[in-house]
Amino acid sequence: VSDTPPAPAPRDVFDELLALLTPERLLRDPRATGEGVTVCVLDSGVERALLEEKYRRQGVALHSIEGAIFTDAPEPLPYAGRQSTPHGTTVADIILTLAPRVRLFSADVFGPRGSCEVEVVVRALRWAVDVWKCKVVNLSLGVPEQRLQQVQRRLALQRAVEDAYYKDVLVFAAAHNEHPLTRSYPAAFAPPLLSVDKHLFADPLQFAYRLRDQVEFQAHGRGYLGPFAQEPATSWAAPHLAGIAARILSLRPELKPFEMKTILYWMYREAVH
Amino acid sequence: MTPGSDPETVLVVDDEEPVRKTFREWLEGAGLGCRVVTAADAEAALVIANRQPIDLAILDWNLGAGSDGLQLLEDLTVFHPDVVAIMITGFADQATPLKAMRMGIRDYLDKNQDLDRTTFLHAVRRQLEKIRPARRERRLHRELLAFREAVEKVLPLVQAAAALSDPVPLPAAVRSLFRFVLRTTGARDGVLLARSYDAEREPAEVCRAWDTEGRRLDVALVPFARSVAGSVIGMQEPSTMEHLDRAAAAGAMDLQPFERGRRSLLAVPLSVAPGVQAVLEVFDKQGPGGEPGPFTEADRRLGAAAADIGTELLRHELAERQTQRVLFDAVGAALGASEAVAASIQPADSRPWVPANPEDPPPAAVMDRLRQGLAAADAATDAGESLRLAEAVRVLALRHGSRAVAHCTRLVEEVRRLLDDTAGTGEAPP
């Protein structure tokens, strides 16, 4: 028995190509700021003045945050720059922390009533894709399986996610916080979207590909602003991966969802190996 | 073993005494925190199972005298349906895996190949790790059932309370809920916040808070959109937070007066009804030794379970209130036949009139004025007026107690008699 380790297998052309996909090249490129990328935070509204002030103090000029409030009515209500609950502001802040130059839209699906139905989420998602032409949609809101038993409603949500996929829109959906004990929609519709579980990383730009019960990715699970931001949650993990994707998209805006998944996968693989 | 809980019981059944002794030594020496009982044969094992719960059974496939471990497991499940088993066998290839899995066998150890202290303890640990959460779930479920039974006993009493003389029956429900959550999580204090939103109402948003005794808190509440409660509704599941003041300083939210200075928080959203949100907040968890600490994942899950019951209680309460409102409306509509009645009851130069005896009929002058009013009044009173009058009845109940309310009820009965007489539908009153 020899003590000499076996010679490394010869690297093929894929190895050589994919070795170029490093976080340093893609995420830390000076141009990777989110510029040119339109992102929708489909959530509980965004407190615009608060974020503008925070980033102004950091010397970062944000694009003006726009949006709408979605209710049972067919047409959305105008967005007055306010949050319906702080959750959406925490999510938006995470995306802006990673990619401050994105153009952000707030789709407030909670509104003053403080609750939302799947139909409202579907309408807002379609609006973000078709009217605002968003390239990235972050869905940190999920519906646990037990609350979405009706097949028709589930299918309507799935169809909206698939329509976004066919329009090259990247949808990031948070897994349930008790994943995999509880499945959450739309994260469980994993193939056409990027499903995200939580994990604590030393660097918020770190992430992992760990397929586990339909959820593929893990990203940093802590936020920076607002109540519960410091508590690990999938709600904060999804916008971290969305922010990472926005950075990459500012280098190559036309990437398709499956291309983004592949790049993220290979980047993670290269980083690990 | 979870602190404060019963240890799991591991039953070892083997017909060879040295094997039983060895397994016992391995288990007790490994510090697994479980109770070990042994039996030499199926009969002794079943006697033990009849006396105490068994969580994990380590069974010899061949127990001698013609009996086997699989048959024994089948008998054990009669006593303890959730028991799982590790089978010790000398001939694993003869086992029937599918049947064995259905019976609760989760692992095999082959005496002839891989059975040593390490593999044995590894297999046991793996099963205990699966058993423990399931046991906790079952225990929690039992506690919830007990809690629900207790609540179900309370609810009829709440329902039976005279709605008008007890216009806020919320305390009993809130107290029950808080007792359960505070005791099981170790929280020191708590508040229930409820918010209703109706765009047609002024103000559209109404927020209320109750303490653990069900007393309404008379404090100025921050807007829901900037509150911790609002954020929990956004999270859609129980959430925990530490050092609330520090979190609030980062912006995006304001603390309620009763949240300031709190060290830890567990907030549980309750889905009550469209346009109505409620959040149960408990504060400042204490460990078994009284030491402060954060709420745990187990507390969060417990909060989720409590949310189901809390939601049910509040929905019930909401229905109660709607019933009361119908009652108020009925009284209001009847009294609304004449504004003059109120003036007759309360002459300008006297204190509010309350009958000495609730059984006394209303004064003749009042009834005369009422008859006049009825003749002139439009039978259909508008909802706003009804509500205003209903509120007057409620205030009457609060200020003057049940005797005044009893008289009010009697007045309504008189009105009904008058209406029946007038309309010619004179049905005998009950």
Question: Residue B152: what pLDDT?
Answer: 54
Could you give the CA distance from residue B166 to residue B157 in angstroms, rounded to a whole number? 12
Q: Tens digit of pLDDT for each residue in A122-140?
A: 999 999 999 999 999 999 9
B279 within 8 A of B190, measured Cβ to Cβ:
no
Q: Does A231 touch chain B if contact means CB atoms closer than 8 Å?
A: yes
Q: How far, in Å, CA of A189 to CA of A197, rounded?
A: 14
pLDDT in tens, B10-19: 999 988 899 8
For B235, nearest residue in chain A (alpha carbons): A87
Q: Region of A179 please: left (phi>0), alpha (psi -120 to 50) or beta.
A: beta
CB contact under 8 A, B204 and A112: yes
Query: CB-CB: which of A44, A142, A228 is closest to B241?
Result: A228
Task: Tell me how far apart the alpha carbons of residues B253 and A271 are, in angstroms, rounded to a whole number.
Answer: 38
Contacts of B231 in chain A (CB under 8 A): 85-87, 90, 226-228
Asked if A54 contacts B251 with a C-beta cutoff of 8 angstroms, the reply is yes
User: How many whole angstroms separate alpha carbon B311 and alpha carbon A40?
Assistant: 32
**Mean pLDDT score, B159-177:** 52
Is A259's pLDDT higher than 50?
yes
B134–A contact, CB cutoff 8 A: no
Which residues of chain B neighbour A85 with C-beta distances below 8 Å?
224-225, 227, 230-231, 233-234
Q: Do B224 and A85 touch (CB under 8 A)?
A: yes
Q: Which residues pair with B85 in a beta bridge?
A: B57, B105
Summarize pLDDT for B205-226 with one digit per residue, the tens: 888 888 888 788 888 899 888 8
Averaged pLDDT for residues A175-198: 81
Q: What percent of chain B has pLDDT over 70?
A: 59
Q: What are phi and psi of B70, to 5 degrees?
A: -65, -40
Report the DSSP pairing between strands A136-139 and A38-43: parallel
More confidently predicted of B92 and A12: A12
In order of B362, B393, B413, B416, the CA distances from B164 in angstroms are 20, 8, 16, 19
- A 241-270: CB under 8 A from B: none
Could you count the other beta carbons within 10 Å of the beta carbon of residue B291?
8
Q: Tell me how far CA of residue B301 lies from CA of A167, B140, B185, B306, in angstroms.
A: 39, 10, 10, 9
* Mean pLDDT confidence for B128-149: 73
| CA B104 – CA B134 distance, rounded (Å) | 14
Tell me the CA distances in angstroms from B118 to A142, B19, B378, one per residue in order: 43, 15, 89
Under an 8 A CB cutoff, do B236 and A114 touch?
Answer: no
Spatial contact of A263 and A21, defined as CB atoms under 8 Å apart: yes
- Say whether A45 and B271 touch across the interface (CB within 8 A): no
Distance CA B55, CA B40 (A): 18
**Partner residue opposite B234 with nearest CB, options A88, A178, A231:** A88
Q: Do B252 and A231 touch (CB under 8 A)?
A: no
In the DSSP assignment, the letter for residue B115 is -
**In the predicted model, what is the mean pLDDT of chain B?**
71
Least trusted range by pLDDT, from A30-44, A234-248, B172-186, B395-409: B395-409
Measured between CB atoms, does B59 come within 8 Å of chain A? no
Determine whether the interchain pair B252/A113 forms a contact, defined as Cβ–Cβ distance below 8 Å.
no
Query: B376: pLDDT confidence band, cut at 50, 70 and 90?
Result: very low
Q: Which residues of B touch A93 (CB under 8 A)?
A: 252
Q: What is the mean pLDDT of residues B386-399?
A: 62
- Phi, psi for residue A130 in degrees, rounded to 5: -85, -35
Residue B123 amino acid letter:
A
**DSSP-based three-state secondary structure for B281:** strand
pLDDT band at residue A163, thresholds of 50, 70 and 90? Answer: very high
Residue B130 half-sphere exposure toward CB, CA atoms < 13 A: 13
How far B144 CA sits from the closest chain A CA (Å)?
Answer: 19
A115 vs B239: CB contact, 8 Å cut-off?
no
Q: Which amino acid is at B59?
A: L
pLDDT above 90 covers a percentage of chain B that reads: 12
The answer to whether A90 and A106 have CB atoms below 8 angstroms apart is no
Would you put residue B284 in left (φ > 0), alpha (ψ -120 to 50) or beta? Answer: left
B215: helix, strand or coil: coil
Identify all chain B residues contacting A47, using CB atoms and an 8 Å cutoff: 252
CB contact under 8 A, A225 and B250: yes
Whether this model's ipTM surpasses 0.90 comes out as no
What is the distance in angstroms between the Cα of A174 and the nearest Cα belonging to chain B?
A: 11
**With an 8 Å Cβ cutoff, is A174 touching chain B?**
no
Task: Inform me whether the pLDDT recorded for B383 exceeds 50.
Answer: no
DSSP string, B41-106: SHHHHHHHHHHS--SEEEEESB-STT-BHHHHHHHHHHH-TT-EEEEEES-GGGS-HHHHHHHTEE
Please answer yes or no on whether B253 and A226 come within 8 Å at the CB atom: yes
Q: Do B233 and A54 touch (CB under 8 A)?
A: no
Touching check for B206 and chain A: CB below 8 Å? Answer: no
pLDDT at residue B265 is higher than 50: yes
What pLDDT, on the 0 to 100 scale, is given for residue B166?
Answer: 38
Beta partners for B279? B193, B269
pLDDT at A63 (0 to 100): 96
Q: Which two tokens stand for residue A234?
A: 């999938």
Q: Name, of B33-42, B178-187, B326-335, the range with top average pLDDT.
A: B33-42
Radius of gyration of chain A (CA): 19
Of the given ranges (A8-22, A82-96, B220-234), which has the lowest mean pLDDT?
Answer: A8-22
Q: How far apart are CA B407 and CA B37, in angstroms?
A: 71
Size of interface A-B (CB pairs under 8 A): 99
Q: Name every chain B residue with its beta carbon within 8 A of the beta carbon of A226.
A: 231, 247, 250-253
CA of B249 vs chain A CAs: smallest distance (Å): 9
* pLDDT above 50 (res B342): no
Q: pLDDT category, B417, cuts 50, 70, 90?
A: low
The lowest-confidence range among A101-105, A196-200, B154-158 is B154-158
Residues 6+ apart with CB under 8 A from A96: A51, A55, A62, A102, A104, A243
Which whole number is the average pLDDT over B177-191?
A: 86
| Cα–Cα dist B358/B370, whole Å | 19
Name the residue among A141, A226, A233 with its Cβ closest to that of B252. Answer: A226
Q: Among A23-32, A180-189, B382-391, whose mean pLDDT is lowest?
A: B382-391
Q: pLDDT per residue over A33-61, tens digit each?
A: 999 999 999 999 999 999 999 999 999 99
| Chain A nearest C-alpha distance from B106 (Å) | 20
Which chain A residues are Cβ-neighbours of B271 within 8 angstroms?
115
Query: DSSP string of A153-202?
Result: HHHHHHHHHHHHHHTT-EEEEEPPTTTTTS-EETTT-TTTSEEEEEE--S
Which amino acid is it at B152?
Answer: E
With residues binned 3-state (H G I as helix, E B as strand, rest as coil), the percentages for chain A, rounded to 5, are 35, 20, 45
Q: Do A86 and B240 touch (CB under 8 A)?
A: no
pLDDT at B429: 34
Q: Kindly report the nearest CA distance between residue B197 and chain A, in angstroms.
A: 6
Judged by CB atoms closer than 8 Å, whether chains meet at B242 and A230 is answered as: yes
| pLDDT reported for residue A37 | 98
The nearest alpha carbon in chain B to A112 belongs to B197
Looking up tokens 């059944």, which residue turns up? Answer: B13
pTM over 0.90: no
Q: Which helix (H) or strand (E) holds B256?
A: none
CB contact under 8 A, B231 and A226: yes
pLDDT of residue A139: 95
Q: Per residue in A219-254, pLDDT tens?
A: 999 999 988 888 899 999 999 999 999 999 999 999
B chain contacts of residue A177, beta-carbon cutoff 8 Å? 237
Q: In what helix (H) or strand (E) does residue A242 lie, and over which residues does it extend?
A: helix A234-249
Candidates B88, B89, B92, B57; CA nearest to B74 is B57
By percentage, how much of chain A surpasses pLDDT 70? 93
Crossing angle (nearest 10°) for helices B170-185 and B117-160: 160
Chain A nearest CA to B305, separation (Å) = 14
Residue of chain B whose alpha carbon sits nearest to that of A117: B274
CB contact under 8 A, A227 and B231: yes
Q: Does A225 touch chain B (CB under 8 A)?
A: yes
B231 has a chain A CB within 8 A of its CB: yes
Q: B150, B142, B211: which is closest to B182 by C-alpha? A: B211
The DSSP call for residue B424 is T
Is B398 strand, coil or helix?
helix
Secondary structure letter of residue B258 according to DSSP: G
